[in-house]
Amino acid sequence: MKIVFIGAGNLATRVSLALKEAGEVIVQVYSHTENSARTLGEKIGCSYTTDLKKIYPDADLYIFSVKDSVLPEVIAGIPSNDALWVHTAGSISREVFAGKQVRYGVFYPLQTFSKEREVDFSVIPFFVEANRRDDAPLLQNLAGKLSKNVRETSLEERRQIHLAAVFACNFTNHMYAIAAELLEKEQLPFDLLIPLIDETAAKIHEMPPLQAQTGPAVRYDRNVIGKHLDMLQNKTLKTLYTELSQNIHTLHNDKEQYL
């Protein structure tokens, strides 16, 4: 099976390299950024292009991994063929390909990728969808070469998982970033927090996050909360601190009415 990657960002980089490692044949990479296209093409050892018109027409699978907002125009710029086209986005319907292509689907790995960081694909959940029933096994099989955790999903489920992932990953990472800024302000090293960050993540392997919660907010310790609010000079952070503390308190005291 010959694969073309449309996109050369974080996800495209890690997934294409993992597929190559698993023995798949990536024949070409497209990116509208010359440097990204060349870098990934060289890493994979395949050709690359920045011109949608030069994308090979005869591959078997086209994996679209571009910013959601440009996906429709990228699709529109490539001639239809009889191959399978999939995207890797968490919140976009596979129907984005409808009308343009006969065979299409979704190939969504639930992970945070950075170009320069290797990850263990074997544990990453892959969510696949295909509009044609006989294409689903093809995608499951491909994902199965990377991961032990592959499932077919609906758009609704995938969207909900993506939304939950924004909280569990992007907003979580932002909490780390705020902590880093607060420490940097006092010339304290961020490394101090690493054992705490590791343990916070490790705990939820063993118990639900609701049970794992500690700290001033869940105790609703007004003394500490008040001191912390005094220390935060930034108005937005003051608001976030207050709202997050209240929200912790709400979830712990009225879980049934929480959502």
Q: Which positions from 101 through 140 interact with a second copy, judged by CB under 8 A?
A: 110-114, 116-117, 119-120, 123-125
Helix axes 222-231, 235-253, angle to 10 degrees: 160
Q: How far is the CB of 57 from a second copy (least distance, A)?
A: 29
Q: How far is the CB of 143 from a second copy (least distance, A)?
A: 14
Q: How far is the CB of 36 from a second copy (least distance, A)?
A: 15
Pick from 237, 238, 242, 253: which binds a second copy (CB under 8 A)? 237
Contact stretch for a second copy (CB under 8 A) within 22-30, 39-47, 48-56, 239-247: 239-247
Contact stretch for a second copy (CB under 8 A) within 23-31, 80-88, 100-108, 151-159: 151-159
Measured between alpha carbons, how far is 66 from 76 in angstroms, rounded to an integer?
A: 13
Query: How many other CB atoms are found less than 10 A from the CB of residue 27?
Result: 16
- Our CB check for a second copy shows the closer of 23 and 208 to be 208
Pairing label, strands 126-130, 84-87: unpaired
188 to 207, contacts with a second copy by CB under 8 A?
Answer: 188, 190, 192-201, 203-207
Q: Which of 84, 104, 101 is nearest to 93 (CA)?
A: 104
Measured between alpha carbons, how far is 179 from 190 in angstroms, rounded to an integer?
A: 8
167 to 186, contacts with a second copy by CB under 8 A?
Answer: 167-183, 185-186
Burial state string for 150-180 with b = 16 or more CB within 10 A and e = fewer than 16: bebbeeeebeebbeebeebeeebeeeeeeee
From first CA to last CA, the distance across the chain in angstroms is 45
Does 33 engage in binding with a second copy (CB under 8 A)?
no
Does 247 engage in binding with a second copy (CB under 8 A)?
yes
